[in-house]
Structure 1
């Protein structure tokens, strides 16, 4: 089976390509923005330029059976664009649908779209997780663009033989993770006291290797056709629990001060950090029962194993 992975130099795409190359049943090509690389390990990368409504995918799609579309304009905490939604739509909606139309013309049989849990919304009440069948309630421009891309893909595929698979990951972590997750590892590694010792929220996360394993499963599983899947590690943690287990992975002691989450939320709002407060103090859970039952799938990596891999990668490179 010939597979095209877009966003092949990104956090998810690069790991996906690395895993696929070692599987005998797959021939993988990675689509990237800036360079053409014929790597010594046999992985071919094709420069397609920026993801846009005008991107020419003809060369990349030759002979391809399955497209795994991981390229996107990602969520930006402090977006400086005058009209962020318009920019997200141009890349994540119009760019994605342009690829899908060309995929149909090239005879691609399955299109796997890496969407986002932000299509469901920004948070849940503990014990009331999002499901794949929930009515979407995106709030920010990124989530709205992903929802519109999902809808557009379904419309385009309905009149063709193209099967669409949609995967909505929660926060993805693993070796090479950046942003807030990396900052938390740095704080713990330095022994900085953190005011997160009394947070009782519930957050679903997904290890990079668990997400990659699910993506590969959906590439061939007959029951994945035209379905939407949520994905997580299957174990939800509070921020306090996550920090303690992350500290263990780093072989450090976590210094967590028992500050009530309501005080943290009030302080964050005063400092203009409300969205960060939501991530640290709020809950976001997903129900993966459909994913597990329909695909006979289970997350192959435990939370502690995944944290160990992320911590080892960080420690090996922090002084390099």
Structure 2
């Protein structure tokens, strides 16, 4: 019997990972870090640390909250792991701990330079983990996932879906970009491979789908799933940027940050993790993953 402790099990990733691993004969035990007794009787095979404070696009949170949750709680949990008999520690950080913007392709060996409290708090937790001497019989993984999606997912994909569903022309066709996504199915697959394959060495690993897609291609996929015509229009970039600044003040979905997310390049390499587990391709293509996510929106 393999016992896996998971923090953040009530979140989107946690719920999906719990279900996936349970179906693969793992026993899942939640760790509730807000419970003062969470340190008692930890005696399993691995800890998957998902709990954290997510990036706040509305920018209403105090920056100290990120460090209290993402950094300090991770330090406490990791210290307990080091003192325990548990063999594997999988910490879900973020690509935003490495870089807010990516001009080329993001690899694991980049010198991290996060600009936001979210990314900085994640990096501080990474640095603490890396500063510790790891016993030879233990493994420690720092996972940097890019944008995760799947059935039940919210965020910019849902925003795009509603734009297409309502017949509103997508106005950012003039922006040409390439970005990486990560389907929840591929994430679940990779975590299980790490848990099952004891030859996978400790280290930092990016998680992403194999292919990159432009936002224009994502809109086309949504149109295809909904059987709608692609009404995208190429509004001049200067006008779009002005609209974004207006959105910053009157709090509409189209603001400077959402425009950046929809139009930026953010390509993430997953070659290191695939080499470590001995595969050439992940089970699901980026398009297959997005189609599954988008179809889930139509069932609401």
Post-superposition offset of 1:267: 3.5
Residue deviations 1:25-78 (CA, integer Å, cap 9, x gap): x222233xxxxxxxxxxxxxxxx2538xxx54234x532110001111111112
Post-superposition offset of 1:192: 1.2
Structure 2 unmatched runs, 5+? 249-254
Determine the C-alpha separation between the residues in 2 that align with 1:49 and 1:218. Answer: 24
Post-superposition offset of 1:119: 1.2
Q: Which residue of 1 aligns with 2:259?
A: 277
Q: Which residue of 2 aligns with 1:44?
A: none
TM-score (norm 1): 0.85
Residue deviations 1:74-120 (CA, integer Å, cap 9, x gap): 11112323x41x21111111101111111222311110001101012
Q: 2:273 aligns with which of 277, 291, 294?
A: 291
Structure 1 unmatched runs, 5+? 32-47
SS in 2 for 1:152: helix
Q: Which residue of 2 aligns with 1:58?
A: 39
Q: Which residue of 1 aligns with 2:251?
A: none
Q: Which residue of 2 aligns with 1:94?
A: 72
Post-superposition offset of 1:266: 4.4
The more displaced of 283-292 and 155-164 is: 155-164
Post-superposition offset of 1:190: 1.6
Pairing of 1:163-242 with structure 2 (within 5 A): 163-242=139-218
Pairing of 1:74-113 with structure 2 (within 5 A): 74-81=54-61, 83-84=62-63, 86-113=64-91
Q: Which residue of 2 aligns with 1:34?
A: none
Q: Which residue of 2 aligns with 1:40?
A: none
Determine the C-alpha separation between the residues in 2 that align with 1:187 and 1:3. Answer: 40
Pairing of 1:238-257 with structure 2 (within 5 A): 238-257=214-233
Determine the C-alpha separation between the residues in 2 that align with 1:292 and 1:150. Answer: 21
Determine the C-alpha separation between the residues in 1 that align with 2:256 and 2:77. Answer: 36
TM-score (norm 2): 0.90
State the number of aligned residues.
Answer: 292
1:155 aligns with 2:137: no
Post-superposition offset of 1:213: 1.0
Structure 2 CA distance for partners of 1:163 and 1:29, relative to 1, 3 Å: same
Determine the C-alpha separation between the residues in 2 that align with 1:244 and 1:275. Answer: 22
Q: Which residue of 1 aligns with 2:96?
A: 118
1:17 aligns with 2:18: yes
Residue deviations 1:181-224 (CA, integer Å, cap 9, x gap): 11111111121112022221111111111111111212233343
8 Å Cα contact 2:71-2:122 kept in structure 1: yes
